[in-house]
Structure 1
Amino acid sequence: MAAAMALQSQQANASCVRLNPGDQDLTASFTMPNVDRPDTRYRVVNVGRISGGFECTAGQTAFNIDAPLAGLTYVRDVQLDSYLYKVYSTGPRSPLIGFSFSVRRAGTTFGGPPIELGVRNRHPGEPLTKTEAMDVDVYMVIFFRGGAMESIPMTDLGTITSSVESDPSQSMQHHVRLEITVPPVTCSLANASHTLDDVLANELAASGSNAKESSFDVTMNCPMDNIDVQLSLADANDPGSSNGQLAPAPGTTAGGVQVQLLRGGQPVQFGQAWSHGWSSKGQQAIPFSARYLRTADPLVPGDVKGEAVLTADYR
């Protein structure tokens, strides 16, 4: 009975004080592959720890952790081993970021439970049989988001504060700054050809008249969702072309007529990019149409050909 009472007294009086001064500078910058592995851990980031930041007496001393990182948005919960992480992002396509808090004997391997942003978290502390120096630190766990991701520029995410529950004056700050470079992924565009039905001269009697409009698709193949694609068109044979009118390509024998290229029922504007939006994974059709357009030149029977170049850019 006496021994049990002595142990209870020892635990009740357990405490921690700052030993080595300084705050944790949790600043990380690295490159991450842009792959489609939703909720898969990429890496753990634990830098800037203050070795032996606290000294704790025998027993078990709890810590409170406040993490008001306002620049991050909660996305979802992710299970990793025995822990359920709440993960956050800086934007709609950024990698996902989870946070953990570690209290361990100085010089030992870090590790600890996840913490949630915007609320007070509690860590029960490490049971000790004697007074020891302790490492107290925050670390980040980086996850693939699923679909294409975008880079995070160097961003000051804010400061997390940990403090001894029984004596909040014994505290440490953990300054969080993060930069992740994510190389863009690209889609492929398939070559496409389209043949208009034959047209009679009387169907193109007047300059500016058009005939035989028909639709076709260009196939784009993307390796994953969420690729932000912008598209633009150019005349392959005349960079000065306008109003969707394609300059006569090699093999043209007709005169007074050109092929006009349209998107959404309107002549395309060469050189002006438009947003395709975020891709879906796999093949998707990019719709166009084409028609004959009479010009002011004399009408000469024959074949008319036009060529355009479709370019995809990525943000």
Structure 2
Amino acid sequence: MYSVMESIRRFAGRLTIAFSAAILLVLPDVASAAWATNNITISTLGTQTFNNGNADQNHAGTAIGNWTSTMTATVWSGGALDYFSGYTWAMASQSAIAGVTYTDSSSGQSYPVYPTGVPNIGVVVGIADAGVSTLKPFTAAWTQVWTGSAWGSVGFGTRARLVATGPLRAGTYTIPAQIVASLKATSDAAGTSLTGSVATLSISGATVTVTAQSCVVTAGKNQVVTLPTVSVGNFHGVGSSPSAANSFNMQLSCPAGIALYATMTDATTPGNTGNYLTLSPATTSATGVGVQIYANGSTSPVSFGPDSSYPGNTNQWYVGGSASSPSTAYNIPFTVRYVQTAATMTAGSVEALATITFSYQ
């Protein structure tokens, strides 16, 4: 705006005309300016490979492949004279995976790891202003990325990396495309006065090929073990077992460097963590009796756990081997016995089912 003030004065018979001008520059209001909003996608995750070593080693927090190249993108754009002065923000679309972080070796920066929808594979994302080379993480709450001013456009630099969050067995894993964060720009430090609309940051789909070594069951994979017939009178109270028993063996061949663990699971009652199998529906009449399994020469019966190879699984037990072991052939002996489980017993046929899951650590 221009304003002109004119004053006329007379000095010693002369007419003097004086002009003064004032210029007032009016800047557009960032909150009301017509800023267009663009969503952005990190599209270069592509195909990655990962060597998990032994199949059930836990490499949580270990990178899968490399960072994507830093991608610079405009998120909010206005006219050439649209002026932005304020703050930019990012917020993760879901909560980080508890107990897992990724530390970037070049910067020392620690990143929260977010789920991808694929078990034991997560993603980390770095973000900064489009003109800043040092990227940083964000959280599941609005995190300030940048503050400053700009003409015409506002954007970000972003990059992503896949991260192992648990053991990965050999195979090919497909990571779906997904939104990983919301983005906003505001004219206030409280983050409430928006410039343009809230935008999204996504990652494209990716494929991860995992290699890992494991053992091979060479004998005894599926077995039916028949126990001898016994009389109710052979039992002498809860927890007692008659001498009648039967045995079976399982054999495995393992490559060098594997510590072998196992978990037995009650197939009838998978949540059972006790030390005797519950009777299956095929059992007729018999009550007050269960079946116990003794493994690898132990004098204590096996306690059962979930059907999982995850290291540290409930009631997982050590079979043998270590990181320094040579290639090893295992022959694991098992003994099966009846056990009295209630004060009152009823005669009848007995059937129980168990599975065994090996863990290669």
The TM-score normalised by the length of structure 1 is: 0.49
Asked which structure has the greater CA Rg, the reply is 2
The TM-score normalised by the length of structure 2 is: 0.44
